Structure 1
Amino acid sequence: MLKEAIYHKPANNYAYSYDKETLHIRLRAKKGDLTKVYLIFGDPYKWTKEGWANQTKPMSLEGSDELFDYWFIEVKPEFRRMRYGFELHSENESIVYGERGFKDRDPKETNFYFCFPFLNEIDVFGAPEWVKDTVWYQIFPERFANGDSELDPKGTLPWGSCDPKPDSFFGGDFQGIIDHIDHIVELGITGIYFTPIFKATTNHKYDTIDYLEIDPQFGDKETFKKLVETCHENGIRVMLDAVFNHSGFYFDAFQDVLEKQEKSQYKDWFHLREFPVTPLPEPNYDTFAFTHMMPKLNTENLEVKEYLLTVGRYWIEEFNIDGWRLDVANEVDHQFWREFRTAVKSVNPDVYILGEIWHDSMPWLQGDQFDAVMNYPFTEATLDYIAKDEINAEQFAEQLTSVLTSYPKNVNEAAFNLLGSHDTARILTISNDNKEKLKLLFLFQLSFIGSPCIYYGDEFGVTGGNDPGCRKCMPWEKEDQDQELFSFVKKVVALRKEFPAFGNHGEFNMIETNRNTNHIIYSKQAGNETIIIAINNSNESINVNIPYDFTGKQPVDLWNQEPMKENSNIELGAYGFQVIQVK
């Protein structure tokens, strides 16, 4: 037994409150090292003449990544408090592991063990419940639809007349979105994430000039209110994009600094290194990356903080938006985000707070800051396996284990799972224009744990490389739309809505991978319903045996709504799949 690989801490993703009466406990060990693990647990104040009164319960192997196994258990302490440790078994050794290290046997002393002092309900991570059943749709407003040509900026090009450039405009606006709300409804979307809509000079609007004003090319506040109301009438939530890490170059406060220098009342609103402040040839102030057009805001400054918190509250109070997506969230101080959460939740506790973070995000996901982050580790693993063929089925399963065990389960249920966005190449382009692979991507994304997001146009097979290529105009002419692909995506979204186990209410379990045939089989289980999904990520037909006992069961081919034989052997065509419901 390799003791150096055994790891647990009584916090974060290893020990946490799942709900007001349930604890989740996780243990890490060397891959393949342990054969059995038991949780030793009990109330810290229960003693007998033999010592501390505890009990044991077997843990289950949750999954494995490249190096480690992860063991998991759910337990309900009788009095919401618990001391606990682990009884570990390998093929030739058994030991007990607690906070003080290792012992040959249970010492019956609570101070040896890990402590979960008390399950306080207020400490339970709580993202809005509605998010778990939301299918998001990301819209880049400048490229979705032009509904009011009178708003077009100078130099606006005819819709879709050429590939986008960093400085090109096509006139997308709010009216265009309202005009095409039926398309979004038909797809089955229940949440829209808009990239920034506030006054700015660029087509992407990440260079905010005024956080309290709509960019005039999109419309006015009255039209935006109508858009939100139209969405809500159709069961669609609305999430806006907030750029609080940095402002735009033409933000009034920064222009005041450039004009008045040391005498500006806003000089402490930014991270200025010296005077005079000069943008070129290189900025002598902190920016987003090294872009002189995006000066970094000093969110520790009380005036900046109050201004931005006012912004956060304003769009909820006045327009009833349902969520905030926070740009470059990891570069803003944690204290600001804590106060931001308090501010917006005071207006509406059900608002969804989503941070843009591309790396391990546990520090932001402890209940005091964000409800979720954009789940790029999920994105990268799924694209590497299905779209790019850079990893095989076994490696994919290992990476998914890493994704899922990095966070508590209630955090994973609210994670924002995307495949493509305005920051990445189109997923069809990444898939080398293979639409069968694109279908597998959608199938896996929409049947996984979390809150999935579809980037506008991907349902029609829009192509394009990295920015600006991924920001093409939405095709509205039928001949430019892949209707068969649209029908496929619509059908998968409908399955997620109709069958709780298929979506976010089913426990995910990878039950088979094969690096030779490159197929995966996974299950989603909720109550007495199990859904099994097999995916063949290869260009050859294969026969697979579903590792499930169908005896006495009535399996149904859920995709075709047809009964299946009680036979575990199925054929999967090239890039084929099967969705099986078992009750």
Structure 2
Amino acid sequence: MSVWFDSRDVRYKDPFGAVSCGAEVHFTLGADEPLEACCLLVRQEFAGLEQEVPFSPSGDGWKGVLTAPVEPELIWYAFRVRRPDGSLLWLGRNGCGGEADRQRWQLTVYEPTHTPDWFGRGVTYQIFPDRFCRLAVPDGHGMVGQRLVHQRWDDTPQWQPDKAGEIRNNDYFGGSLLGIISKLDYLQSLSVSTLYLCPIFEADSNHRYNTADYRRIDPMLGTEEDFRQLCREAHRRGIRVLLDGVFNHTGSNSRYFNAEGFYPELGAAQSQDSLYFDWYSFHPWPTDYDAWWGVRTLPAVNEEAPTYRDFIVRSQDSVVRHWLRQGADGWRLDVADELPDDFIAEIRQAMESEKPDSFLLGEVWEDGSNKIAYSHRRRYLLGRETHGLMNYPFRTAALAWLRGGDASAFRRDMEEVRENYPPAAFHSGLNILGTHDTPRLLTMLGAARTPESKDDRAAYRLSPEELDMGLARLRLGALLLYSFPGSPTVFYGDEAGMQGFEDPLNRGTYPWGQEDSSLLAYFRQLGTLRKQRLSLQCGDIGYLYAVGGGLVLRRQSEDEVTVAAMNAGMQPLELSIPWAGALAKDALTGQHFFARNGMLRLTLPPVGGVLLV
């Protein structure tokens, strides 16, 4: 006997994927033999409820309707059928069998709230501010921390521990907000519509993820007026600005903790009478305290402390509101897994009150629809918290395919995300191939090996053969990135051919005047096409081919169709794809292809692709 169901086929489950609260979901179960009965087994995780939905026979199968709950929910479902002999059979994601070992399907039920569409439709550019552009060599004297300033812009970032065995991240190159302003025309030439800045607030490290003062721009970067000018000039060019909010922890050398006594007022490490004492958890004070992943220079804050929540979110001049008023258009939440759900929800509420079209992005490395963090199922995408997430699952699947994996695995993993995410959240992902937390894309795709020692990794540069392979794969990866739903995101310098292994080797300075001009022109071309074609910005996605190295995506918005046909394999790939017109053009090269009888014959070169319009 065979019973079948495909959660991603609307003939069996309609509508596709996640549904809004109160929506009706129509199910059909197929069977090749008569059944006595069939029902849908539903488990509501947050409400803690179980229910059975009886099905009725219809043709060769059984049909039933589930009405989604009126509150956001995560539903897990399976099927139970009864044979004519009275025996029972359960159907789950892993097939038919006994009840105990059936894996259930996921159904995400979300509240349909407003998601700004400007983010997912456009191109995002991520900048590590110290390393993008400097206009003058800065003087770090008098600033928080012991700052070492590189005189040469093309120096290698300091990666070796100091004499005490500590990696201080206290070497600076002097990139600034005014430097970024001077390059806004460059970003505009890449069709960038969102500028995502790594932290810009005062801190005693070059990465600034250890905030020292949330209300002050780091003086090496500039001033608050410089930030306002950056936002004004960016907006004039159609570019919005996204800030990095590090709200799970501060720096130990901060105005709030003040372990080194740099700031005049008492910090929590100095006195239990400090205004900030209840922001932190000591056991006992002052020598032992909660810290992010045990890193003592990153004392964790207690987000439940009323004074902290007032400071960050609730007050009329809270950190979240203040910087939106100065011109920011959204926030990215660092380590969102470490933040309570209600804290994230309050940030969203404050943002919508202050600037209704602002965007809230979360850093989550897995499927955010069903993430469990610290034994709690998270609710990032159910309508009241983040609008979108960093799409690390896309990066994982894309890199695997680019380096020899099967395209069917990419399709499987990405269709699971599309099925689990609310549509607006899926189209609002920050799609990435490289970030400040990962090795440089060109190095990842070109290096035939990873040297064992960090000394060797710091000195490593791709050989001519590795560089050729890395560039070919990078171009193909960029074509996939710009063709996929969500915001294609470029980590500064990837478009110029920057190399480097892990942090901080991936955080070198932008090579002004030494860019790979051909690669840069290619990214400009992709940006222009993304900006011109509505189907690439917000169209539906379908897979025309996903076998071995071959991957063909079809994007459609109303009558406009764009097809990205790609081959990551080492041999030419011949394939035929359906095409409605008589002629297709590769938008990248201008080459034309003739279709016959509704089919287009293509021969894709090794590690190459076309964008058909």
TM range (shorter): 0.7 to 0.9
One of 351, 355, 358 as aligned partner of 1:351: 358
Cross-structure match for 1:560 = 589
User: Is residue 326 of structure 1 aligned with residue 333 of structure 2?
Assistant: yes
Q: Which amino acid aligns with 2:155?
A: C
SS at match of 2:435: coil
Aligned partner (choices 354, 376, 380) of residue 396 of structure 2: 380
SS of residue in 2 equivalent to 1:522: strand
Cα distance between partner residues in 2 of 1:396 and 1:385: 7
Once the two structures are TM-superposed, the CA of residue 508 in structure 1 deviates from its matched residue by 0.9
* Other-structure match for 2:133: 145
Query: How far does residue 194 in structure 1 lie from its aligned partner after superposition?
Result: 0.4
- Within a 5 Å distance, the mapping from 1:231-246 to structure 2 comes to 231-246=234-249
1:452 matched to 2:488: yes
Q: Which amino acid aligns with 1:230?
A: E
How does 1:247-326 map onto structure 2 within 5 Å?
247-255=250-258, 256-260=267-271, 262-275=272-285, 277-278=286-287, 284-309=288-313, 310-317=318-325, 319-326=326-333
Matching residue of 2:221: 218
- Residue 424 of structure 1 corresponds to 438
| Distance change >3 Å, CA 82–CA 514, structure 1 → 2 | closer
Alpha-carbon contact 2:2-2:33 (below 8 Å) kept? no
1:527 to 538, 545, 558: 558
Question: For residues 122-141 of structure 1, what are the structure 2 equivalents within 5 Å?
Answer: 123-141=111-129
Letter in 2 for 1:161: D
| 8 A contact 2:194–2:242 mirrored in 1 | yes
Residues 127-166 of structure 1: CA deviation (Å, up to 9, x unaligned): 1121132211000010001113345565311343321123
Quote the offset at 1:395 in angstroms. 1.7
The offset of 1:125, in angstroms, is 3.4
Pairing 1:115–2:67 present: yes
Aligned to 2:575: 545
Distance 2:426 2:243 in 1: 22
**2:149 corresponding residue in structure 1:** 156
Q: Secondary structure at the match of 2:192?
A: coil
Q: Decide whether aligned partners of structure 1 residues 204 and 83 sit closer, same or farther in structure 2, where only a CA change above 3 A counts.
A: closer
| Distance in 1, Cα, partners of 2:296 & 2:71 | 48
Structure 2 Cα separation of the partners of residues 251 and 357 of structure 1: 26
Structure 2: distance between partners of 1:352 and 1:117: 27
Deviation string, structure 1 residues 297-330 (Cα, Å, up to 9, x no partner)? 111010000011100000112x121010111111
1:250-275 residue CA offsets vs partner (Å, 9 max, x unmatched): 22232322222x44443321122223
Once residues 11 and 436 of structure 2 are traced to their aligned partners in structure 1, the CA distance between those partners, rounded to angstroms, is 45
**Cα distance in structure 1, aligned partners of 2:343 and 2:591:** 54
In terms of mean alpha carbon deviation, does 234-243 or 354-363 score higher?
A: 354-363
**Partner-residue secondary structure (3-state), 1:149:** coil
Identity %: 29
Counterpart of 2:328, as a letter, is I
Partner AA of 1:458 in structure 2: D
**Of 418, 427, 430, which aligns to 1:413?**
427
Question: Does the 8 Å contact 1:164/1:469 carry over to 2?
Answer: yes
* 1:20 corresponds to: none
Residue aligning to 2:7: 28
Q: Residue 186 and residue 350 in structure 1: after superposition, are their counterparts in 2 closer, same or farther (change >3 A)?
A: same
1:575 maps to which residue?
Answer: 607
Letter in 2 for 1:357: V
Match of 1:367 among 359, 383, 387: 383
Give the aligned partner of residue 72 of structure 1. 16
1:48 equivalent in structure 2: none
Does structure 2 conserve the Cα–Cα contact (< 8 Å) formed by 1:249 and 1:292? yes
**Which stretch has the larger CA shift, 403-412 or 344-353?**
403-412
2:123/2:192 contact within 8 Å kept: yes
Per the alignment, residue 88 of structure 1 pairs with 29
Q: AA paired with 1:156?
A: V
1:465 aligned onto 2:501 = yes
Q: Amino acid of the residue matched to residue 154 of structure 2?
A: S
Of 530-539 and 262-271, the range deviating more from structure 2: 262-271
Deviation, structure 1 residue 82 = 5.5
- Alignment root-mean-square deviation, CA: 2.8
Aligned residue-pair number: 501
Secondary structure in 2 matching 1:546: strand
Give the TM-score normalised by structure 1: 0.80
Q: Give secondary structure in 2 for the equivalent of 1:525.
A: strand
C-alpha contact 2:137 2:151 (8 A) present in aligned 1: no
Q: C-alpha distance in 2, partners of 1:218/1:427?
A: 26
Q: What is the one-letter code of the residue matched to 2:433?
A: L
Question: In 1, are the aligned partners of 2:17 and 2:421 still within 8 Å (CA)?
Answer: no
Deviation (angstroms), 1:73: 7.8
